[in-house]
Each structure stands twice: as C-alpha cells, then as structure tokens.
Structure 1
C-alpha cells in the first residue's frame, strides 16, 4: 500500500456516515487542511457522489495538494496551510489527546503507539478531541473510544 492509499480511506468509526458521505471524511478534511482550504459541510452536501469520491481519492503529495487548492479556490475559503501541526509531529503525545482520553476514561496512547499511527490517524484523533471543532461535540467524543480501538488494536505498546 502506497502512503497516499492509507490517506484515502474512511475509518470504521466513520461508517455510519460513509454510506452516503453525508459528513466530510477525515481523509478529505486532512487534505483540505494540508492545501489550505475550508470546505463547509453545506458545500460538501451540495457535491455529487462522484465529486465527493474524487476528493476522498485525491492524492496527498505536495503537487496533488497544490492542484487541489487551485481547483477549490473558487468554492472554498482559504485558511492557513497545516504546517507543523500536532498531528504532524511524532515526538510527543499531544496534551489535548491526553486530556480527552482521561476525560472519557480511555487509556492514553503512549509515545510509541503515537509514533506508530499514520498521519491521518493522528489527524483524526486530534480532530475528535479539538474544542470548538465540529467534531468535538458529545457524539464525536463518543467516537474517540471507537477511533482509539480501531487505530491502536495492532500497535505495539
């Protein structure tokens, strides 16, 4: 599996939304952050299934992300590109992850487990924990244990 293949998937914890793609998958959200574009849920819902799948399957190389930013410049707001975000770092487990795990009575991933996660998995965990984010509501916090189980089940402790 190529690196980009791992970053074009829908997680099991997203399954209830994946049949009709009524929510923006984490894989798409990560690519949007990387290319500096903000796609509102309302705009996502207006896209056809083919367009949604195209965004999901879009590559995440630097060149592909540049093309994606250019393609979306008319329909999406520009935001700062994700550079050196916590989900891009593997030298420590972010405090936000620790706090959210403790608050939801989940085991906190250790540094080795964090380092074994791929960038999309780290992105998803942080988005599920982020305050003020659309995925930080109680429903999404309920997805945190599901995501942790999905991501850490085969990781060495």
Structure 2
C-alpha cells in the first residue's frame, strides 16, 4: 500500500492536533512499529509539509509497512533538527494487537472518565489501529487523557 492521499487523522485528532502541532496517532503507530521515539520539540522542528507526509504513511497491519517511513523521519530530523530519533526494540506482542482481551490501562482510563470500559465484543470489533489508539491514549496510569473520551465516542464505545 502506498501513502494516503491526506494525513491520516481520527476526527477527534483534527482539533486536538492543532494543525499537526502535536504528533498524530498514525505517526506514533509507525514510530512504535519501527522502534523509534521522537520528542514533541523534535516533531515541531519539522516543516509542516514534512509532518503531513509522515502522517500519510499507512497504518493497516494487513498491508506491508511502508519501508521508507524510518528513512524519511531520520532524514527529516537530521535536516531540520540535527538529531537522530531514539531507537528501541519494538514490542513483539503489544496488548492492542489482541482482540480477545481489553487492556487494563483502557479499563482504568474508562473508569477515570466515568464510563464503562469497552466490552470484549466491542473491543474485538475495533480495528488494530483503533485498539492502538485507545491503548496509547490510556498508557499513563492514573492520569486522565483529554482525547480518550472523544476517541471512545468516535469509535462508538461511549455517548
């Protein structure tokens, strides 16, 4: 699969990403898959067109990962921020990859928001990228994420 025609943003991200001032989940997804970490400051040093391009890389797991994402972000960071992304070993079996168990962090974040956690059948109906998004938005234990409830609403899990 090639690049998307436009930046891949969930509806709830359009406002909260503030015109790609913040790192969108599509970019975070690919950073995690390639075992790369960048700071918000590094992201904001990239020209807007580069940020849009990075948000256009595919997130579907069934498709082959666009092989140039890692090269693109490394070159962009070298050129515009004079840094390299931090490297780590990607998780071989992330919790969001499983449709058969709602992660504890998602259950806790739901509780913090005062809503029911997704049922197992609801969780199973989400695609991998949606599950990634909820897991990513709920990763900080005990801390309410302002995008979690909008994501739950967008995915049909809360009113």
TM-score, with structure 2 as normaliser: 0.78
In the other structure, the counterpart of 1:97 is 106
Deviation at 1:19, TM superposition (A): 4.7
TM-score scaled to structure 1, two decimals?
0.79
Show structure 1 runs of 4+ deviating over 6 A: none
* Correspondences of 1:38-57 after superposition (within 5 Å): 38-57=37-56
Structure 2 matches for 1:131-150, cutoff 5 A?
Answer: 131=140, 138=144, 141-150=145-154
Distance 1:120 1:63 in 2: 13
* Contact 1:35/1:82 (<8 A) preserved: no
User: Which one has the bigger helix percentage?
Assistant: 1
**Alpha-carbon contact 1:38-1:77 (below 8 Å) kept:** yes
Q: State the shift of 1:9 in Å.
A: 2.1
Q: Deviations over 1:68-122 (max 9, x none)?
A: 2234446311112232101111111111111111222112101111111111211
Match of residue 81 from structure 2: none
Runs of 5+ unmatched residues, structure 1: none
Match of 1:82 among 87, 91, 103: 91
Q: Provide the rounded CA distance (Å) in 1 between the counterparts of 2:17 and 2:134.
A: 18
* Farther off after superposition, 40-49 or 80-89: 80-89
Pick one of 104, 117, 126 that aligns with 1:108: 117
Unaligned stretches of 5+ residues in structure 2: 79-83
TM-align CA RMSD? 2.5
Structure 1: how far apart are the matches of 2:135 and 2:87?
Answer: 21
